[in-house]
Chain A
């Protein structure tokens, strides 16, 4: 049996991230606030060409 998320093109990593996010959101207020801070991450990148930094691009944040 192939899981539904796999047929939709999600990776196992993504599946785990979604499951973890929903678990964090289901907590009572106090542990939830602590956990959600931990789940936040962001990544931005820029391409360097000829010694110059290109446009800074933001990758969409996860786990918010």
Chain B
């Protein structure tokens, strides 16, 4: 330990001290971009890609995240996530089943969800059929747990329907 300290002290003397301070900004990409990682348990959709803006369905309300956003942790409700990329890529929309988003101080955004699919992969027909079924269960005389499950399904399906419009 002492040797290490001695060496580092020497090193500091040899060069201007500032070069040893590694700030968050050094690790981050372009200043006006947010570095997005969108990961599922079984797949990585975005891996540290620089994008312009990300809109996420947080439990506390929809929010748009740009570069240099305040660090925060948000719980996500089932909903639509929009990723705005630079240039011809335009924007991409994914439906998330719920998870968490973490904004780090160096303009990094990690979104973790259980399932995420492009909105065009969903079938309006399947959603309608399931919604009818879930509504029947929710207003039926099943156990409290069955009703609670049906209510979760309704929440997800209604969010899906709204997202597909």
- Give complex CA distance A28, B95 in Å: 14
A16 & B153 in contact (Cβ 8 Å cutoff)? no
Q: How many A-B residue pairs have CB under 8 A?
A: 82
Residues of B bordering A, CB below 8 Å: 42, 78, 95, 97-99, 114-115, 117, 121-123, 126-127, 130, 134, 144-145, 147-149, 151-153, 155-157, 160
Tell me, yes or no, whether A23 is within 8 Å of chain B by CB: yes
Can you pick out 10 interface pairs between chain A and chain B where the beta carbons lie within 8 Å of each other? A5-B152, A8-B148, A18-B153, A19-B155, A22-B153, A23-B78, A24-B115, A26-B157, A28-B121, A28-B123
Q: Which of B42, B117, B134, B145 contacts A23 (CB 8 A)?
A: B117
Say yes or no: A29-B147 contact (C-beta < 8 A), given A22-B130, A22-B156. Answer: no
Cβ contacts under 8 Å, B99 to chain A: 16
Which one of B97, B130, B145, B151 has the highest number of Cβ atoms from chain A below 10 Å of its Cβ? B97
B148 & A4 in contact (Cβ 8 Å cutoff)? yes
- Write the chain A residue with the least CB distance to B161: A26
B126 & A27 in contact (Cβ 8 Å cutoff)? yes
B98 & A19 in contact (Cβ 8 Å cutoff)? yes
A8 & B144 in contact (Cβ 8 Å cutoff)? yes
